[in-house]
Structure 1
Amino acid sequence: MPHALITGITGQDGLYLGELLLDKGYEVFGLVRGQSNPKVAMVEKTLPGIRLLAGDLTDLPSLIGAVEVAQPDEVYNLGAISFVGLSWRQAELTGETTGIGVLRMLEAIRIATSDEMSRVRFYQASSSEMFGKVRETPQRETTAFHPRSPYGVAKTFGHYITVNYRESYGAHAVSGILFNHESPRRGTEFVTRKITRGVARIALGAQEKIALGNLDARRDWGFAGDYVDAMWRMLQRDTPEDYVIATGETHSVRDLLDAAFGHVGIADWSPYVVQDPRFLRPAEVDVLVGDASKARDLLDWRPAVDFRTLVAMMVDADLAAARGELDREPVPTRGHTVPPG
């Protein structure tokens, strides 16, 4: 039975990856930060059979201990301060966790394996935010980086330190440069989930407005469940390489609003959306769209869920969640009628 250690197990990617690996017969270990972590119960319910270990990407000894206990064949480093907007307000913590945390995880593997790093296959969650002010469109593995946020800068460090350990120590280390990927498990602070949750609540009469920042930003949005499959495929190849994972299509925030509101029968969303300067980035990334042809050719990977299906999936999940909330705390209905179920 292969062993896998996942940092960031409480996030959407960690949950989907944990499910995938358990289905494939792995023994899965998840790293959980802090005592009495409120997400532990959710992880244990979603991933029955997982073994949780205490550890923190800002604390090297805890990472060494986790590797020694898990004895992993594969390590998936998904942990990060991952909300881009927060990275300006907590730049130092973002650098320590999202950037230097990658170095610590690699060092933990090197120390725990007595410098025989190639025994453990390592996946680093790199990000399309590293491209930032893009030099070419679409972006591919060879596109130069120009990050536009502390988050993007930290991810760029994590990406290059992974390459460095591959070249310096012979580590079987790969980076997946993942473009935006979403799901019903996405945190409500992210714009996709903020919109789908807001649309559901507006449709049910529990909310009046959604406050957003830049409506013209364009992203390459895919389904997180598809993208964790690509992570696993990367580590099954004998040659460690880096890959862009993307759909190859770009959509604006306005397109996302069209799809989400349209799914509940609202054609004109303008009365329900306000632009709030608080949600504008100090340095904007205008457009990201990836070229995943390398992953298609070498990993036989293709996204299965398209943009509109993804948005509909998220709105439906948020409608179900909002109905449950309203059943527990009734509010007067003043919105659009949405069919039950």
Structure 2
Amino acid sequence: MKTALITGITGQDGSYLTELLISKGYSVHGIVRRSSTTVRARLDHLFHREDIYNKRLFLHYADLADTTTIRRIMLKCTPDELYHLAGQSHVGASFDIPETTCEFTAMGTLKLLEIIRDLEQKPKFLHISSSEIFGRPDQSPQNEMTPMRPVTPYGIAKAFATQMVTLYRESFGLFACNAICYNHESPLRGESFVTRKITRAAAAIARKHQESVSLGSLDGRRDWGFAAEYVDAMWRMLQHDHADDFVLATGTHHSVKDFLDASFKAVDLDWQDFVKQDPRYMRPSEGTRLVGDASKAERELGWKAETTLPKLAELMVEADLQRIDASETKPAF
């Protein structure tokens, strides 16, 4: 049985990755930040399985800045693979909290690399990078050789972390990889992200719980894929015969308007009747023409994104409709 350690295990990718690894027979350890609440909805179904929780799934409290505790956790569970998913991941929020973004997204990655460097038993390491490292690229689509030109605090922090992973691989011989992920969404996406904000609104408007939704720019274009497929590529990267970097993307890009159209069509509504634009949600700087070339991942890992944007939006809206309907059927006491 292999052992994996996941930072950011309670996030969207962490929950899908946990399910994948457990299905493959792994023992999974996760690092979580201690807070006043113990509710971790994305993993709730696993917590309540007596054959899984505290038998094949274990949680440890630590903060990415707490290197002593993280080192202790790694010495205790001796992972074969370390998936680093944690960090401040909201691009828009990074303008409001740039120091926090850099501390956890950039320096948090470096601290993990330094811990691994000193371990006698070094786990294979995967860092989740982002298309935001490319910022405003001169070429489209982008691949693993595209120059980094980040234009957001989040993109800059990710570029630092990505280059550090490459440096430690080349300088210290670590099996360290970068998964350069383009936008990947799912019904588990956080509610502050535009895709989930849209699908929640479509579901709420369809159920007469909401009258409209306020958004920023509708012209931004992104390469949107399905998160459950992307974690499979992450796992494949650490099974590869050598450490390398891979772009994970669908190879197609769509505008926010396209996502709106697909989401509201899923409930037979016209988004233009319900959407208001609000300058408060406009970003000071934003990447453009971000679309990925994942041909290397297909060629070397046998991985290819399958879920199209209309299908992705539909399954997200359906999940939000189910949440609303479930809440309405709960007893009042």
TM-score (norm 2): 0.94
Name the count of aligned residue pairs. Answer: 325
Identity %: 48
1:326–1:287 Cα change, 3 Å? farther
1:262 aligns to 2:265 (yes or no): yes
More off after superposition, 269-278 vs 7-16: 269-278
In the aligned structure 1, how far is the partner of 2:235 from the partner of 2:145? 22
Matches within 5 A, 1:189-268: 189-266=192-269, 268=270
- DSSP 3-state at the match of 1:98: helix
| Partner in structure 1 of residue 92 of structure 2 | 85
| Partner in structure 1 of residue 326 of structure 2 | 324
Identify the match of residue 290 of structure 1 among 289, 292, 299.
292
Deviation at 1:284, TM superposition (A): 1.8
In the aligned structure 1, how far is the partner of 2:289 from the partner of 2:210? 30
Specify every segment of 5 or more residues in structure 2 that has no aligned partner in the other structure, as ranges: none
In the aligned structure 1, how far is the partner of 2:109 from the partner of 2:266? 40
1:107 aligns to 2:114 (yes or no): yes
Identify the match of residue 165 of structure 1 among 165, 168, 177.
168
Aligned residue type for 1:182:
E
Identify the match of residue 186 of structure 1 among 168, 171, 189.
189
In the aligned structure 1, how far is the partner of 2:331 from the partner of 2:213? 21
1:191–1:40 Cα change, 3 Å? closer
Matches within 5 A, 1:15-30: 15-30=15-30
- DSSP 3-state at the match of 1:226: helix
- DSSP 3-state at the match of 1:177: strand
- DSSP 3-state at the match of 2:287: coil
1:63 aligns to 2:79 (yes or no): no
In the aligned structure 1, how far is the partner of 2:39 from the partner of 2:63? 15
Deviation at 1:63, TM superposition (A): 1.4
In the aligned structure 1, how far is the partner of 2:42 from the partner of 2:262? 29
| Partner in structure 1 of residue 314 of structure 2 | 312
Aligned residue type for 2:66:
D
In the aligned structure 2, how far is the partner of 1:314 from the partner of 1:257? 12
Deviation at 1:120, TM superposition (A): 1.2
Instruction: State the Cα deviation string for residues 102-133 of structure 1 (Å, max 9, x = none).
Output: 0111112223x14x6xx410000000011111
| Partner in structure 2 of residue 337 of structure 1 | none
In the aligned structure 1, how far is the partner of 2:130 from the partner of 2:22? 25
Instruction: State the Cα deviation string for residues 304-330 of structure 1 (Å, max 9, x = none).
Output: 222111111000000111122344599
- Is the contact made by 1:181 and 1:221 (CA closer than 8 Å) also made in structure 2? yes
In the aligned structure 2, how far is the partner of 1:298 from the partner of 1:148? 30
In the aligned structure 1, how far is the partner of 2:44 from the partner of 2:164? 32
| Partner in structure 2 of residue 134 of structure 1 | 137
Deviation at 1:42, TM superposition (A): 5.0
- DSSP 3-state at the match of 1:53: strand
| Partner in structure 2 of residue 5 of structure 1 | 5
In the aligned structure 1, how far is the partner of 2:253 from the partner of 2:202? 21
Specify every segment of 5 or more residues in structure 1 that has no aligned partner in the other structure, as ranges: 331-341
TM-score (norm 1): 0.92
